[in-house]
């Protein structure tokens, strides 16, 4: 009973925070599927990573807020219902997630596990011979609560994203990946530094203060 009560209190607290969250309200107003869009928006506005005409791969894409943001950046003058960009798309967005999501016009979506070799082959086939300008990864594993285990899972996903980026990014391309402070964080920073000329950690304002998440940005392959 104590566990259930505690769980209810946590859920209620989260719900209250969620309902009153200004980014949630802004996402609803502007037609984004989640507040996560503003995390990528902040990173992009600081580093100017997204430009029309690019090829972008969105890993861990569901429910689609990052793909929506990319879509709008590629079609800034084409606004539809809820502010969603519609019409001709000046750029290529290839999205992947284990979960399905509602289609976004012009976004090539692949449903599957990025850690599955067959799914990775599908993604690479969708990219084809085109060099990729930007890889964005909001991937996160289902956390067990065991720090060492969770750190290993997170590290494995980020390292896969780095490997994919090394193989497909343009020399001046960039990778944005969600990571978590704690066990394994230092190793991930080091992995980024081995792969990229410039590495910058960013904690967007849209990322909740109590959240351990941050984002590593690597620019320019070594």
Q: Which residues are catalytic?
A: 178
> d(Cα 206, Cα 150) in Å, to the nearest integer?
23
Q: What SS3 class is residue 212?
A: coil
Tokens of 85: 């960009």
How far, in Å, CA of 108 to CA of 115, rounded? Answer: 19
Helix (H, G, I), strand (E, B) or coil at 54: coil
Q: Classify burial at 81, counting beta carbons within 10 Å of its beta carbon; exposed 0-12, middle 13-18, buried 19 or more.
A: exposed
Strand boundaries in the chain, DSSP class E: 55-59, 92-97, 107-111, 132-137, 169-180, 196-202, 213-221
In whole angstroms, give the CA distance from residue 185 to residue 203: 14
CA-to-CA distance for 139 and 206, rounded, in angstroms?
Answer: 17
Backbone angles phi, psi at 27, to 5 degrees: -65, -40
């Amino acid at each position: 009973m104590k566990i259930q009560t505690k769980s209810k209190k946590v859920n209620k607290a989260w719900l209250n925070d969620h309902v009153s969250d200004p980014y949630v309200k802004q996402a609803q107003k502007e037609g984004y599927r989640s507040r996560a869009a503003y995390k990528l928006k902040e990173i992009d506005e600081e580093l100017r990573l997204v430009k029309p005409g690019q090829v972008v791969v969105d890993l861990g894409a569901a429910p689609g807020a990052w793909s929506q943001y990319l879509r709008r950046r590629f079609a800034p003058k084409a606004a539809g219902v809820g502010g969603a960009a519609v019409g001709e798309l000046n750029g290529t967005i290839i999205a992947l997630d284990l979960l399905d999501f509602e289609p976004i016009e012009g976004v090539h979506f692949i449903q599957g596990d990025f850690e599955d070799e067959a799914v990775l082959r599908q993604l690479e086939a969708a990219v084809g011979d085109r060099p990729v300008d930007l890889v964005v990864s909001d991937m996160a594993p289902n956390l067990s609560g065991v720090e060492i285990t969770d750190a290993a899972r997170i590290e494995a996903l980020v390292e896969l994203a780095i490997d994919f980026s090394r193989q497909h990014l343009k020399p001046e391309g960039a990778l944005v990946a969600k990571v978590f402070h704690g066990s394994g964080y230092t190793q991930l920073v080091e992995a980024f530094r081995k792969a990229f000329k410039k590495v910058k950690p960013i904690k967007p304002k849209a990322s909740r203060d109590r959240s351990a998440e941050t984002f590593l940005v690597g620019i320019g392959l070594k």
